[in-house]
Amino acid sequence: MKRKRLWLTILAVVVGVLVVWQFRHSPEWRQFSWAAVWQATAEAKAGDIFGSVVLIYATYVIRTWRWEVLMATPGRFWPILKGTMIGFTGTALLGRPGELVRPYYIARKHRGGLPPQLAVWMLERMFDMSGVVLLVGLDLALSPDIQALTRSGGYQGAFQKAGMVLSAGIAGLMAALYLFHLRAPKVLARLRLRQEKAPSRLRMKAEHFLETLAQGMEGLRRGRKLAAAVALTMLLWVTVSAAIWLAVRAYPEMLPGFGFAAGIFLMGLTAIGSVLQLPAVGGGFQVLTIFGLTKIFGANLAEATSAALIVWLVCIYAIAPLGAALAAHEGVRLRAGSTQADTGGGVD
């Protein structure tokens, strides 16, 4: 985990440096002024930003419903909701390692083992990745405005190729998951037999991963559950898109014609940028948001920088005050290198 975090940090820094270098050599950067950024922030509509925060809070409820659906055994709404809010606060403060707070917390509150909740978390990541790709792909295919923007900016070919590659990858992943779902017992039995004959650390890790995945897929044996998980995933990312759209609409002079389809497209960029998210800094999230607003939609750099900061704060940190209060109430300690709690039903 530490090695992975180190490489992600290095990659985020490299991407940030490259983009800043590009901006510094562009005409917009030479005219850039932090005073203009603060002025744009002061003129933003507080009502739209508040509405954006409300929508982001709604996404945690949707995530809770989906987690309940993905669980193989019945779960309880309130412990999952609290774990979700505390978990995303941990992600905001600690980066990717903070994501493990949520499955730990939910496992303890349900008096069950950790592996089934880790399996749900793993499936959730796969659903999220698939949902974002599908929603943005539909946006590119069906929205004439987005097609015109990417075509005029010279990015249409690149986006179409990226969309095709990602869609093919998602389709392949879903097919592989379905086949594994059908043959999981045989695959695991064969892997254990090979492990007994020729022990291997890599094979042991693969066996643990596949066992966890198989446990997670137990909750999707019924078609209704799978359909509900897909529907909630699409609702989740539509809601996130609406929150981003409202945050950008808070700057009425920046992009007067910024429609909901544009909000979906920008959501896709922020989702990519969040992969390179650094705790308390952001990095890729803001960089790709600014890139989308300026290079694709033609916004002023100062206003785009202000909007990117607001979108980042809303999407990542709006939950932090409530999540931190819940963590304190539940006895959950959020700190670098560990995710712990000291309550009787909390996280060890």
Residues 6+ apart with CB under 8 A from 82: 105, 109, 326, 330
Residues 6+ apart with CB under 8 A from 174: 130
Domain locations in the chain as residue ranges:
34-330
Token couple for 34: 């932090």
Helix (H, G, I), strand (E, B) or coil at 250: coil
pLDDT per residue over 83-136, tens digit each? Answer: 999 999 988 888 777 788 999 999 999 877 787 888 889 889 889 988 998 899
Q: What spatial distance separates the first Cα and last Cα of the chain, rounded to whole Å?
A: 19
8 A C-beta contact, residue 31 and residue 301: yes
In this prediction, residue 188 has a pLDDT band, given cuts at 50, 70 and 90, of: confident
Q: Are 98 and 87 in contact (CB under 8 A)?
A: yes
Q: State residue 114's pLDDT score.
A: 81
Question: What whole-number percentage of the chain has pLDDT above 70?
Answer: 76
Strand partners, 151: none
Examine the pLDDT at 346 and tell me if it is beyond 50: no
Within the chain, where are the H helices?
2-24, 27-30, 34-43, 46-70, 77-94, 101-109, 114-142, 144-152, 156-197, 201-217, 223-249, 260-274, 284-291, 301-312, 320-330
Query: What is the tens place of the pLDDT at every residue in 256-282?
Result: 989 999 999 999 999 987 776 555 455
* Mean pLDDT of all residues in 157-163: 67
pLDDT of residue 97: 72
Q: Does the pLDDT at position 341 exceed 50?
A: no
Residue 258's SS3 state is coil
Which is higher by pLDDT, 284 or 44? 44
pLDDT tens column, 287-337: 889 889 998 899 998 899 999 999 999 999 999 999 999 999 888 877 654
Q: How sure is the predictor about 57, in pLDDT bands with cuts at 50, 70 and 90?
A: very high
Q: Is 60 exceeded by the pLDDT of residue 347?
A: no
Q: Supply the pLDDT for residue 122.
A: 83
Q: For residues 177 and 268, give the distance between their C-alpha atoms in angstroms, rounded to a whole number.
A: 24
Q: How far apart are CA 289 and CA 277, in angstroms?
A: 13
C-beta pairs of 115-119 under 8 Å, 24+ apart in sequence: 115/211, 115/212, 115/215, 116/71, 116/72, 116/73, 116/215, 116/216, 117/71, 118/212, 118/216, 119/212, 119/213, 119/214, 119/215, 119/216, 119/217
Q: Which residues pair with 335 in a beta bridge?
A: 338
pTM for the whole thing?
Answer: 0.81
Q: How high is the pLDDT of residue 265?
A: 94
Query: Is pLDDT above 90 for 35?
Result: no
Dihedral sign for Cα atoms in the order 100, 112, 326, 55? positive
Task: Reduce the DSSP state of residue 347 to 3 states and report it.
Answer: coil
| Averaged pLDDT of the chain | 80
Closest CA to 306 of 49, 34, 37, 45: 37
pLDDT tens, 190-246? 877 777 777 777 777 777 667 767 766 766 666 688 889 999 999 999 999 999 999
Residues whose CB is less than 8 angstroms from the CB of residue 235 and which lie 6 or more positions away in sequence, other chains included: 62
Answer whether residue 54 shows pLDDT above 70: yes
Distances (CA, A) of 79 to 71, 82, 113, 182, 345: 13, 5, 15, 32, 10
Sequence-separated (6 or more) residues with CB below 8 Å from residue 301: 23, 28, 29, 31, 32, 290, 294
Rounded Cα distance between 248 and 286, Å, is 13
Which of 65-99 are b and which e, b meaning 16 or more Cβ less than 10 Å from the residue's Cβ?
Answer: bbbbbbbbeebeeebbbbbbbbbbbbbbbbbbbbb
Q: pLDDT value at position 331?
A: 84
